[in-house]
Amino acid sequence: MAGPGSGGTEDMAGGKSRFDDIYSRPDPRPYFRRLAPLEYEIPHHAQPVFRQAAAERAALDDARGHRSAVLDVCCSYGINAALLNHDVTLAEMYERYTSPDRQALSTAELRASDTAFYAARRRPDAVPVFGLDVSAPAARYAQDVGLLDAAFTDDLEQGSPGPGLSRALAEVGLITLTGGGTYITARTLTALLDGVRRPVWVSAFVLRTVSYRPIARTLAAHGLNTTVDTSRTYPQRLFTDEREQRYAIAAVRALGADPAGCEEAGRFHSLLYESRPGTP
Ligand SMILES: C[S@@+](CC[C@H](N)C(=O)[O-])C[C@H]1O[C@@H](n2cnc3c(N)ncnc32)[C@H](O)[C@@H]1O
C-alpha cells in the first residue's frame, strides 16, 4: 500500500487520500505503479458503458449528418480514450506501465512505443476524443501518443473556457468522467454546458461519498435529465488505510446510502449517472 516512505505524497482532501504527485508526471508509469496496489479499476467498469454511450450518441449524429466528439473530463493520461477507441484492457495497461522492462525507458522512448502500440490497436469505430485536465504533462502525453485529438488544461473550477476549449465545445456530443467527482463541481459542468452547441449527453462515474445533486441540478437547468441506478455500484479502489475507510463509510451514510458490502468491505464504490436531453 502506498504511503509515507513509498516514494510519494498522499495528502488528504476531506478524508480521501489525494495522489496529486502522480497526476503531473511526464508519462503514465508513476500513475499506474501507485494505483496498482490499490486496484484502481473504475475505467475498466466504464469501458463498456462509454463505448455504448459513444455508439448511441454517434447514431444520433449519423441521423443528423455530422459527427461529434467525446470530451473526457479529468482525462489524465488518456486512459478512458485508450479504452474507448482501442482494443486494450485496463489490466493490459497496468501490465504495460508497471512491467520492469519498461521502467528503464526514457519518456521519449515510452512515447514512441505507446504511439505505435495504440495505433496498432485502434478500433474501426473510433470516435474523436478531446481531453480536459488541469495537468498539462498528462494531457499532453495523451495527445502526443494519439489517444486524444485535442487536449485542454483550462481549470473551469477557477475560470471560463479559453478560446481553444470554447471552439472545441462546439463539437462535443458526449461528456465522460471517471475518478474526477471529488475534483470538479457543478462549476465545471456549468462552464461546459454553457459552451456546447449540440445535444450533449453526460456519463459520469462518481464516488458514493460525493453528492451528485448539485451537478444534476446544473444539468437539469441545461435541459438534461439524470438517471442513476443506486442498486448497481461499481468498485473504484481499495482504501489506503482504515482512516480513509472510516471517512468513506461516514460520508456514504450521511448521503443516505448503506455501506454494507461496499465501503465496509474495503473499497470505494461509484455510481453511474447518465444524463440525456429531456425532463424527468
Ligand atoms: C483520479 S484522476 C482520474 C484520471 C482518469 N479519469 C482515471 O479514471 O484514471 C483525477 C484527475 O483529475 C484531474 N483534475 C483535478 N482537478 C481538475 C479540474 N479542476 N479540472 C480538470 N481536471 C482536474 C487531475 O489532474 C487528475 O488527472
pLDDT above 50 for 7 = no
Query: Could you give the angle at which helices 213-221 and 186-195 cross, rounded to 10 degrees?
Result: 20
> Which residues are bridge partners to 177 per DSSP?
73, 204
Predicted pLDDT of residue 152: 98
Predicted pLDDT of residue 62: 76
pLDDT above 80 for 79 = yes
Predicted pLDDT of residue 13: 62
Query: Cα angle vertex 271, ends 269, 276, to 5°?
Result: 165
Q: Once rounded to an integer, what is the mean pLDDT over residues 60-70?
A: 85
Three cell numbers written together for 177? 468522467
Q: How far is the CA of 183 from the centre of ligand 1 (A)?
A: 7
Domains of the chain, by residue range, sit at 12-277
pLDDT above 60 for 4 = no
Pocket flag, ligand 1, residue 97 (CB < 6 Å): no
Q: How far is the CA of 64 from the centre of ligand 1 (A)?
A: 32
**Percent of the residues in the chain that have a pLDDT greater than 90, as a whole number:** 89
What is the three-class DSSP state of 267? strand
Q: What is the pLDDT of residues 173-189, one digit of tens each?
A: 999 999 999 999 999 99
Pocket flag, ligand 1, residue 138 (CB < 6 Å): yes
Q: How far is the CA of 139 from the centre of ligand 1 (A)?
A: 10
- Nearest to 146, CA basis, from 174, 116, 177, 123: 116
Fold classification of 12-277 is Rossmann fold (3.40.50)
pLDDT above 70 for 11 = no
pLDDT above 60 for 76 = yes
The more confident residue out of 1 and 153 is 153
Task: Give 122's pLDDT tier (boundaries 50, 70, 90).
Answer: very high
Query: What average pLDDT does the chain have?
Result: 94
Task: Indicate the top mutation candidate among 35, 42, 76 to test ligand 1's pocket, ranked by most ligand atoms within 8 A of CB.
Answer: 76
**Atom 10 of ligand 1, nearest CA residue:** 180
Q: Which amino acid is at 99?
A: S
Predicted pLDDT of residue 14: 72
pLDDT above 50 for 168 = yes
> Which residues are bridge partners to 203 per DSSP?
176, 274
Q: Ligand 1: which atom is nearest the Cα of residue 31?
A: 9
Q: Ligand 1: which atom is nearest the Cα of residue 42?
A: 8
Task: Give 113's pLDDT tier (boundaries 50, 70, 90).
Answer: very high
pLDDT above 70 for 10 = no
Pocket flag, ligand 1, residue 135 (CB < 6 Å): yes
Q: Ligand 1: which atom is nearest the Cα of residue 157?
A: 19
Q: How far is the CA of 36 from the centre of ligand 1 (A)?
A: 17
- How far is Cα 205 from Cα 207, in angstroms, rounded to an integer? 7
Task: Give 12's pLDDT tier (boundaries 50, 70, 90).
Answer: low
- How far is Cα 40 from Cα 44, in angstroms, rounded to an integer? 9
- How far is Cα 93 from Cα 241, in angstroms, rounded to an integer? 25
Q: How far is the CA of 44 from the centre of ligand 1 (A)?
A: 16
Q: How far is the CA of 180 from the centre of ligand 1 (A)?
A: 5
